[in-house]
Amino acid sequence: MSPKRLNVAIRRAREQQGLGQAELAKRAKVAQGYISDLESSVKKNPGIGVLKRLAKALGVPVTALLE
């Protein structure tokens, strides 16, 4: 998975759910700055645990973030 694609997948899923970065961060139990870094590709390789929490918070399967 390219970091560019991951950031787009996270942002798109978040926006489709009508969530701001802060709300997603709260639901996924990560810092809001971490969500921002992922979406701007500052952070490029989140761990599987973070991906699972993000997917759960977004109501999508992990694979939806990795496709």
Mean pLDDT of the chain: 92
Q: Would the pLDDT of 1 be above 70?
A: no
Q: Would the pLDDT of 3 be above 70?
A: no
> DSSP characters for 9-54?
HHHHHHHHTT--HHHHHHHHTS-HHHHHHHHTTSS----HHHHHHH
Q: Would the pLDDT of 2 be above 90?
A: no
**Band (51; pLDDT cuts 50, 70, 90):** very high
- Residues 10-15: what's their mean pLDDT? 96
Among 1.10.10.10, 1.10.260.40, 3.30.450.70, 3.10.20.740, what is the CATH number of 3-60?
Answer: 1.10.260.40
Domain assignments of the chain as residue spans, ordered by start: 3-60
At 22-38, the pLDDT tens digits run 999 999 999 999 999 99
